[in-house]
Amino acid sequence: MGLLTGKTALITGGSRGIGAAIVRYFVAEGARVAFTYARSAGPAEALVQELGEGVRAYQSDAASYAAAGELVKQVTEDFGGFDILVNNAGITRDTLLLRMSEEQWDEVMNNNLKSIFNLTKQALRPLMKSGSGSVINMSSIVGVTGQAGQANYAASKAGIIGFSKSLAKEMGSRNIRCNVVAPGFIVTDMTDELPEALREGYLSQIPLKRLGNPEEIAKVCAFLGSELSSYVNGQVLGVDGGLS
């Protein structure tokens, strides 16, 4: 369809899972794509080879403000700027709060929430120069509903929603939109490892009676990055099969 023809996107955490699906779909819709990875150099290089010209991978630490600045500078030099920022990188360190260490809390907050500040703050000027920009932040249905054993993860994902709604109000006058995607249970490496009983328990709560696919998240991100969503700002789009 070419929804993103003429646009350039910067996508964090793009080497695997949902991130890789977003990279592939954006390229299929005509975008040039810069994406980051933390440690998955092999999958990142394979994805670049698969997709070819117009796609570059950058190793970057999302939790580092300085690294985010260097990333934005390099991508701006390599691509001449960008129109879309997808903050997708994130981690989990699941355990009950009674057992949670300060390190587990801080690690999730730094990688999931502080990373959003790090990169979005650095990206605002390039986005303003583009004339119109779209920031897409990856939250989770857990950020809305909470989840036992994920107090750190849920708090970080809820913080992303508040951050995004505030940014939408700040930057709307500059023609920069900010929206949130909140996936439900999506088929990834993590869900593949779930015990069958737990998996069935999750399925019983989902009206569509199936897990989502990474490509279904990518399609929503493409919508938010395209002109089809030109009047969508400050919204949380749940992609969860009706779970919420």
Written as one string, the DSSP assignment of 101-119 is -HHHHHHHIIIIIIHHHHH
Per DSSP, helices labelled H in 109-181 are 115-130, 142-145, 151-171
Structural contact between residues 13 and 19, judged by C-beta atoms closer than 8 angstroms = yes
Query: Which residue ranges make up each domain of the chain?
Result: 8-233
pLDDT band (50, 70, 90) for residue 179: very high
Q: For residue 185, what are its two tokens?
A: 């249970």
Distance (Å, whole) CA 80 – CA 231: 26
**Residue numbers belonging to the annotated binding site for NADP(+):** 13-16, 88, 153-157, 186
Binding-site residues, in ranges, read 13-16, 88, 153-157, 186
Higher pLDDT, 200 or 92: 92
Residue 194's pLDDT is 66
Give yes or no for residue 191 having a pLDDT over 90.
Answer: no
pLDDT digits (tens, 9 = 90+) for 13-64: 999 999 999 999 999 999 999 999 999 899 999 999 999 999 999 999 999 9
pLDDT tens track for 222-236: 999 999 999 999 999
Residues with catalytic annotation? Answer: 153
CATH superfamily of this structure's domain 8-233:
NAD(P)-binding Rossmann-like Domain (3.40.50.720)
Q: In what order do the strands lie in the sheet with 176-183?
A: 55-59, 32-37, 8-11, 84-87, 133-138, 176-183, 236-239
Residue 190 pLDDT greater than 90, yes or no: no
For residue 175, is pLDDT > 70? yes
- Beta carbons of 127 and 50 less than 8 angstroms apart: no
Over residues 84-139, the pLDDT tens digits come to 999 999 999 999 999 999 999 999 999 999 999 999 999 999 999 988 899 999 99
Q: What is the pTM of this model?
A: 0.95
